[in-house]
Structure 1
Amino acid sequence: MRQTSVLNDLLSAITDTRLFGERRKMKRTSRADLAGMLSTLLSGRGEASSTERAAEFLRAYRDLDSAGRTFIFRTLASEYGADPDALSAAASAYIETPDEAHAKALQVASEPRRVELFRRLNLVQGGTQALVAMRLELFERLANHPDLWTVDDDLKRLFQAWFNRGFLLLREINWQTSAAILEKIIRYEAVHAIQDWEDLRRRIDVPDRRLFGFFHPRLGDEPLIFVEVALTNEVPTAIAPILAVKREPLDPATVTTAVFYSISNCQDGLRGISFGSFLIKQVAEDLARELPHIKTFATLSPVPGFARWLREEAARPTSVVDEPTRQLIESLDGTGWIEDPALAKAAETALTPLLAHYLIEVKDHRGRPADPVARFHLGNGAQLDQINFGADRSPRAMKSALGYMVNYRYILADVEKNHEAFVNEGKVAALGAVTRLTRGVKSAKRDASTKPPRLPAPETPEADALEDTTTN
């Protein structure tokens, strides 16, 4: 994963000379000193003094080792919650006099003190970047320190307010965009890796390719999320023609279709903050205004969880996978099998209905579609439109999805209706041809007492990017 390099970039950025003047040489800060700095940061009243104390704390935090940073997080969790005496008094006052004034006082008293500390850190130039980077480090500790979830929850709530759609800036990224941003696009691409500068140029410096990203004023040239768009005359069934080195570009004045073929979330520290749904809808609206002859908006999307689900399902005593298909799956090792025409045809015939079943019927532990990409697009109001065998033959796609990709279609007039049906009824909008594929799978009945498993999200870059509706 790219977490370490990004974290170091951000933490270095908040302490360089552009932000704080000449960097200070600091001796190693003791835990007692760190705890004192947290307390002092909250005790200051003036904005100038608070900002200087916040800058001092961030400089000290940057110099800490892993154990020191864990100490900071655990101190925030254990000692900087709501003041119990103030909360008890406010609750008693509200019970005695349940009016708006006492309700407001109770709300203020119930806020953890660390929330105000985060607000003060955010006042420093570069403070927002520092907090995003700190949350990324916090993620790495949650498995071993579950008591830290309260700190993560507070940061997430603040980020949901600070990074709401009203603060996001949509930019088209092209060959004239600054090199600093273009380098980050190459680094952050999570779905179809950008090999070099020439590869990037083929994606943004031709008339029938576009790239759009969301930015935030406090993060400068750090993109939050970006989408790559191919302008075509049909919905593609494979990724290779889109990424081809040699092809003839189309005239944008003649195209009829916009294809979202890669969506990448750039800031792992903002996981769980939804940007992708806003981005796709905004880009679709902007393209529809610029090129009104475009009538079709679709995706060419990966299916990152399919192969793992298929193999786990095939291993179950009662399974929707029959014995001949189970034996077939065992023979699909590596990537070369797809070049064998007979084996590829057998795989397509047997696996395509199972993929339709996986996308429409299989749920995660929260009752949502198990595949994170499906969850994202269906939750945004898209329709599952087509399943494409052999669409991505790269090693990663063969391993995670046995080469499959999927088209989701955004029918702008139906997006809101589909979204409401998905959220309120769990209903998946799917083309009839895709739904009919599942009928043969459903006929392979389980024992009535056996419920289908609910799966965790697959551990892939796409899953990380899209978790809680964030990438393609």
Structure 2
Amino acid sequence: MNISFLQELFSSITRREALLRHRRKGRHHFVHTDLLKACRTLLNSDGEASSIALASRALDIYAGLDPTEKQRFFECLTAEFSADPAAVDEAYAAYRESRDNRDLQVLFDTCEPSRQELLRRLNLTSDGTHELVHMREDLLGLLRETPELRALDADFAHLFGSWFNRGFLVLKRMDWNTPAAILEKLIRYEAVHEIHDWKDLRRRLDDRDRRCFAFFHPALGDEPLIFVEVALHKGLPDQIQAILDPETYDIEDPEAADTAAFFGISNCQTGLRGISFGNFLIKQVVQELKQELPDLKHFVTLSPVPGFRAWLEATYLTADDDNAGSLDAESRTLLESLDDPEWLQDQARSEQLRDLIRPLAARYLLEEKNAKGLPLNPVARFHLGNGAELHRLNWLGDISQKGMQQSAGLMVNYLYVLDDIERNHEQYITSGKIAHSSAVRDLNRRARKLLKGEPAR
């Protein structure tokens, strides 16, 4: 039987069940004890058909809970559906005595919280995966104020890591012939550079110099997991406004391009936070583009630097004089001028800021680390972890209001050199070494001089 027909059939069944569940939502107001009772009944069920019905019933009850009752449900799930400590002790004692693989397996099974089996059973319904993704989205919103729920979140992450592994993901190219329902979601989920309207979207899907690819999962139907926007370019791009301008056409013939620039990567499902898709996506898209356009020589990003300006201000402006990063008073005064909206029209001041900010950005990206010893910047962590090289810092790469607020207008090119990706990845993972160009290295050296008191210009 035709595989695409089966996929369409599965998708239609999923949509029909989701519609029925949606119609049932709101008819009843439940409390968390109703759901706990349904979950215990589901765990005690033996038959597959009855388990599917019970799972559907439990998900319907969850949909009828208000936020407070959802939190109470998560708290009970964490406390009451964990592993039995006495059983774990007994299983461990047996394995310690025998060192037998069968006893080891019993120990593994005993250590697993019963809530993991519950989540598996809730996933029996055809729309269960989608519902569980939304359930975890609710959970993630509570973790900051209720950290004891992190054990439950770890169970979600563990199961999602298996359910959404690379073998289940389907790469699709998005173009103007893609169903409108999916295109609408691209507009809604775009997280880097807002898509303003359908004209803007059509420009980003233009066959002449644009490409867009997305990962899908069979259990989520037409819901994209992540998508990447690509601009075909001559040379490495250094400014996002030219790429986003709907009237700008860099090249008429895609085969004339020598560079594929990844300028937007957006995760679509909040409930799948922490499940890695981007590394697979970029590597597969590189292969797709290389096959379509064999003359492409460079694969590079044009990436934002979220958090950079906040770091600048916290390190050099809001700190007291004794803890202001050793930056001299003249340079600190220059940084304060970022708050003046007129500085962009002042060429001399713009050049002074460029000579100050680019070195500090190199220091920020190469040397500032989080509590885990990884780069402080999340975009840097993503691309460096994928094996890219920190290649170039672009002054005034993004002069939009958002770009100025989050990164003082700076943008970064991360370069993916096919022959170096694996080596860069291994060195980053094993020793924290960041692959970077000589130009970035020179900027970091300049930052060290600045912090010793040498004037910015």
TM-aligned CA deviation for residue 337 of structure 1:
2.0
2: distance between equivalents of 1:247 and 1:93? 70
Equivalent residue of 2:211, what SS? Answer: strand
Instruction: Indicate which of 409, 418, 421 corresponds to 2:424.
Output: 418
Q: How does 1:30-45 map to 2 (within 5 A)?
A: 30-45=31-46
Matched pairs, number: 434
Corresponding residue for residue 401 of structure 1: 407
8 Å Cα contact 1:284-1:297 kept in structure 2: yes
Deviation readout 1:210-264 (Å, 9 max, x if unpaired): 0001111101111111000001111111011111121234311221110001101
Instruction: Indicate which of 355, 376, 390 corresponds to 1:349.
Output: 355
Corresponding residue for residue 462 of structure 1: none
Q: 2:198 is aligned with what amino acid? A: W
Corresponding residue for residue 394 of structure 2: 388
Find out whether 1:178 has 2:179 as its counterpart. Answer: yes
TM-aligned CA deviation for residue 443 of structure 1:
3.3
2: distance between equivalents of 1:311 and 1:344? 18
Q: How does 1:44-443 map to 2 (within 5 A)?
A: 44-248=45-249, 249-315=251-317, 316=319, 317-318=322-323, 319-333=325-339, 335-443=341-449
Q: 1:131 is aligned with what amino acid? A: L
1: distance between equivalents of 2:377 and 2:22? 47
Summarize the Cα distance change of 1:375–1:27 in structure 2 as closer, same or farther, 3 Å threshold.
Answer: closer
TM-aligned CA deviation for residue 83 of structure 1:
2.5
Equivalent residue of 2:151, what SS? Answer: helix
2: distance between equivalents of 1:134 and 1:33? 17
1: distance between equivalents of 2:279 and 2:103? 38
Deviation readout 1:45-71 (Å, 9 max, x if unpaired): 111111111111111111111111011
Deviation readout 1:389-412 (Å, 9 max, x if unpaired): 111111011001010101111010
1: distance between equivalents of 2:360 and 2:25? 60
TM-aligned CA deviation for residue 25 of structure 1:
7.3
Return 237-246 or 257-266, whichever deviates more.
237-246
Q: What TM-score do the two structures reach when normalised by structure 1?
A: 0.89
TM-aligned CA deviation for residue 16 of structure 1:
5.9
TM-aligned CA deviation for residue 28 of structure 1:
2.6
Q: 1:153 is aligned with what amino acid? A: A
Summarize the Cα distance change of 1:59–1:401 in structure 2 as closer, same or farther, 3 Å threshold.
Answer: same
2: distance between equivalents of 1:44 and 1:333? 63
8 Å Cα contact 2:25-2:63 kept in structure 1: no
8 Å Cα contact 2:161-2:275 kept in structure 1: yes
Greater relative contact order structure (CA < 8 Å, 6+ sep)? 1
Summarize the Cα distance change of 1:252–1:327 in structure 2 as closer, same or farther, 3 Å threshold.
Answer: same
Q: 2:387 is aligned with what amino acid? A: G
Deviation readout 1:401-429 (Å, 9 max, x if unpaired): 01010111101001111111111111111
2: distance between equivalents of 1:24 and 1:129? 16
8 Å Cα contact 1:304-1:400 kept in structure 2: yes
Q: 1:293 is aligned with what amino acid? A: D
Summarize the Cα distance change of 1:74–1:421 in structure 2 as closer, same or farther, 3 Å threshold.
Answer: same
2: distance between equivalents of 1:91 and 1:207? 63
Equivalent residue of 1:359, what SS? Answer: helix
Q: 2:334 is aligned with what amino acid? A: L
Return 207-216 or 434-443, whichever deviates more.
434-443
TM-aligned CA deviation for residue 374 of structure 1:
1.0
TM-aligned CA deviation for residue 321 of structure 1:
2.5
1: distance between equivalents of 2:408 and 2:242? 19
Q: 2:277 is aligned with what amino acid? A: F
Deviation readout 1:420-445 (Å, 9 max, x if unpaired): 11111111111101101111222356
Unaligned runs of 5+ in 1: 1-12, 447-472
Equivalent residue of 1:260, what SS? Answer: strand
2: distance between equivalents of 1:21 and 1:361? 49
Q: How does 1:449-464 map to 2 (within 5 A)?
A: none
Summarize the Cα distance change of 1:255–1:127 in structure 2 as closer, same or farther, 3 Å threshold.
Answer: same
Deviation readout 1:297-352 (Å, 9 max, x if unpaired): 11111011210111111043241422211111112115442222122111111111
Summarize the Cα distance change of 1:303–1:22 in structure 2 as closer, same or farther, 3 Å threshold.
Answer: closer
Return 258-267 or 244-253, whichever deviates more.
244-253
TM-aligned CA deviation for residue 86 of structure 1:
2.8
Summarize the Cα distance change of 1:320–1:184 in structure 2 as closer, same or farther, 3 Å threshold.
Answer: farther
2: distance between equivalents of 1:16 and 1:324? 65
State the percentage of identical aligned residues.
Answer: 47
Deviation readout 1:122-172 (Å, 9 max, x if unpaired): 111211111111111111111221111100000000011111111110000
Equivalent residue of 1:421, what SS? Answer: helix
Corresponding residue for residue 10 of structure 2: none
Summarize the Cα distance change of 1:234–1:385 in structure 2 as closer, same or farther, 3 Å threshold.
Answer: same
Return 168-177 or 359-368, whichever deviates more.
359-368
Return 254-263 or 318-327, whichever deviates more.
318-327
2: distance between equivalents of 1:24 and 1:181? 24
2: distance between equivalents of 1:357 and 1:141? 34
